[in-house]
Amino acid sequence: MNPSLPQNDSDRAARQAALEEARRTYRYDYEAYPPLALAAEVPPQDEPPPGWKLRASEKMVALGINSAKVDDAEGVTAAHHAAMAALITAERSGGMKAALNELNRLIKEGESSGRPAGLESYRELFQEIELPAVAGTYREDATFAEERVSGANPMWIRRVDAMPEHFPVTEAHFQAALDFQGALGEGDSLEAARQEGRLYLADYAVLAEAEGGTYPDGQKYVTPSMALFAVPPAGAADRRLKPVAIQSGQTPSAETPVLTPRDGDAWLIAKTRVQTADGNVHQAISHLGHTHMVVEPFVLATHRQLAPTHPLHVLLSPHFEGTLSINESANTTLLAPKGGVDMVMAGTIGYSREVAASAASSWRFDAARFPTDLATRGVDDPDALPHYPYRDDGRLIWDAIHAWVDAYVRLYYPSDAEVVADTELQAWAAEVISPEGGRIKGFGQEGRLQTRDYLIDALTHLLYTGSAQHAAVNFPQFTSMSFVPNWPLASYTPLGGGSSAQDYLDLLPPMDAAHMQMSLGYLLGTLYYSELGNYPHHDVFFEYFSDRRVHAPAKQFRETLDGVEAVIHGRNATRPVVYPHLLPSKIPQSINI
């Protein structure tokens, strides 16, 4: 049976009955993360499919073996075999929630605890699991700058026209950075960089009121750092972003001086504090708040207001697969007191949850569109910021999704009139923004959907957020964040704690927290299930889309993505660091991990 709009359906009674049943099944809960609208429960049909569970089991096997070898480097004992088996059995019988709880228990009861003997201790956490390449370059300034444009949180830098008064970077600081790196350009100056729009700021003021946690090994810290970067002037041989100065706080003081690359171990410590701040913003805001939590209300509203035969329900369903389930698993395990987040993040678990909820509740749909966000942050011009893999690869994916959605929508909505007349679509839009519904801000046209163009843009944004944007913030958890010295999620000494090599080591997490961060980074950052553009088949003979008119644009979408894959591989062949996270083959169809 082909999809149809409600105004064209001859059996409206059956359509209404299906919606009434869905509204009994998919209900909102506003208590878990006030004021967010999440699912009251996960219906059985939204549990992970067998293929996902198989891949999760494979990851658990690797983690079990790795954890056993970490605890017993000389040989895996019978006790450790039993622990590994318990981890795998937990996932297979009780799902991801049981497995995460078992992983938490194994790490806390294992031998990887206490302070590290040295930096090599963090490398030794990788036994069965391959050590990420960043472990060889993490101390370099080039790596620090690269992670602002292709790391786990590549959407936090913004161009600035003037330096904030409370970040007193001077020409002397700029010249110190230039002299040390020899890469900003001969004769360059802070004023020239400002006038030419070549200054970029990563500001973590959002963490100024952070409440440091203490679980499981004592007081933790995170600083609301500010980091300045510059692009060398036109004509320079290398125009990649360069670090200029860091202030480990929002107010200049003796404990928070402006530091430059010339400041040795003090600079390394300052960079590490930036990484910790960026990691906490990434996990609570960019990742959890701005992908997982903002997509979930759309999942609920789609089931409740768009009948299963509605063409947009058909389009959206594969992009929602597994989202309710993975969110519920995270909420009840990782984000529970004494869970993985409590163990590795700098803030208390209550603070981390509040930051995530605040990020999602203040998120505005239209402002968060990928092209709009780039323009708002002043990073959309490749002539001004030539090297920005997240932006450049993301544009290819956005354009491919937009073309696909445009072709799909026009099959069912010949004009704006059909959009306005679609009662289910209008009810969907109204519920998405309703205080008694999804509570999404900045969505729609005066509370409704009035044009095809807006609908196409909105659906493109929704599909992009649940696929490419989530991939960009999720999978670097392994490549960038699992090697803890590169991206510690908590600091363990306060500001003013010294500036020697030993002070740097003291800043880093203890081994049980590091083991947990590594394990979660591997699990969350390597579990791929489904692939953007590859819609599920009913069987070997029939495509997912029953409407044969859809087959040609769906095929074109897949071919476009194949072309994008080739372009990105070509770019990666000449990039200083490979950026794999927006390769179409590495983008799951939905938020399912």
Mean pLDDT of 72-76: 58
Segment 43-70 mean pLDDT: 89
pLDDT for residue 95: 73
| pLDDT value at 541 more than 60 | no
Q: What is the DSSP letter of 158?
A: E
What pLDDT, on a 0 to 100 scale, did the predictor assign at position 75? Answer: 54
Per-residue confidence at 83, pLDDT binned at 50, 70, 90?
low
Confidence grade of residue 104 (pLDDT, cut at 50, 70, 90): confident
- Give the integer Cα–Cα distance in Å for 242 and 193: 12
CATH of 1-522, one of 1.20.245.10, 3.40.50.2300, 1.10.472.10, 3.30.830.10: 1.20.245.10
pLDDT reading at 342 higher than 90:
yes
pLDDT at 372 over 80: yes
pTM for the complete prediction?
A: 0.95
Q: Is the pLDDT of residue 185 over 70?
A: no
Would you say residue 74 has pLDDT above 60?
no
Residue 285: pLDDT over 60: yes
Angstrom distance (rounded) from CA 479 to CA 291: 20
Contact 242, 181 (CB under 8 A): yes
Q: What is the mean pLDDT of residues 418-428?
A: 98
pLDDT of residue 332: 92
What gap in Å lies between CA 303 and CA 295, rounded to an integer?
Answer: 13
What mean pLDDT do residues 146-155 have? 98
| Region of poorest pLDDT, from 58-62, 177-181, 188-192, 269-273 | 177-181
In this predicted structure, the answer to whether residue 84 has a pLDDT above a threshold of 70 is no
In the structure, what pLDDT confidence band is assigned to residue 78 with cuts at 50, 70 and 90? low
pLDDT of residue 407: 98
Residue (of 486, 479, 470, 467) closest to 579 by Cα position: 479
User: For the chain, what is the mean pLDDT?
Assistant: 93
Residues 166, 171, 175: CA angle, nearest 5 degrees: 125
Integer Cα distance of 278 and 163 in angstroms: 20
pLDDT category, 67, cuts 50, 70, 90? confident
How far is it, in rounded angstroms, from Cα 418 to Cα 451?
Answer: 9
Report pLDDT for 65: 86
Does residue 7 carry a pLDDT above 90? yes
CA trace torsion 457, 463, 468, 470 (10° rounding): 120
Residue 498: Cβ-neighbour burial (10 angstroms; 0-12, 13-18, 19+): middle
User: Which DSSP state fits 8?
Assistant: G
How many CB atoms lie under 10 A from the CB of residue 559? 12
Q: How does DSSP assign 465-515, residue by residue?
A: IIIIIHHHHHTHHHHTTSSGGGS-SSBSS-TTS--SHHHHHHHSPPHHHHH
pLDDT of residue 135: 98
Q: Give the residue from 29, 5, 26, 12 showing the smallest Cα distance to 449.
A: 5
Residue 76 pLDDT: 53
Quote the pLDDT of residue 330: 93
- Segment 48-72 shows an average pLDDT of 87
Q: Which residues pair with 158 in a beta bridge?
A: 201
Whole-number Å distance between alpha carbons of 486 and 272: 7
CA–CA dist 299, 437 (Å, integer): 11
Q: Alpha-carbon distance 83 to 60, whole Å?
A: 12
Is 86 a residue whose pLDDT tops 90? no
Residues of the chain with pLDDT > 90: what percent?
83
Q: What's the chain's length in residues?
A: 593
- Digit-coded pLDDT (tens) for 303-333: 999 999 999 999 999 999 999 999 999 999 9
Of 295, 294, 293, 275, the C-alpha closest to 207 is 275
Q: How many CB atoms lie within 10 A of CB 423?
A: 13
Structural domain boundaries of the chain? 1-522
Q: How far is CA 493 from the centre of its chain?
A: 27
- The SS3 call for residue 202 is strand
| pLDDT tens for each residue of 206-215 | 999 999 999 9
pLDDT of 108:
72
- The model's pLDDT over 213-239, given as tens digits with 9 standing for 90+, comes to 999 999 999 999 999 999 999 999 899
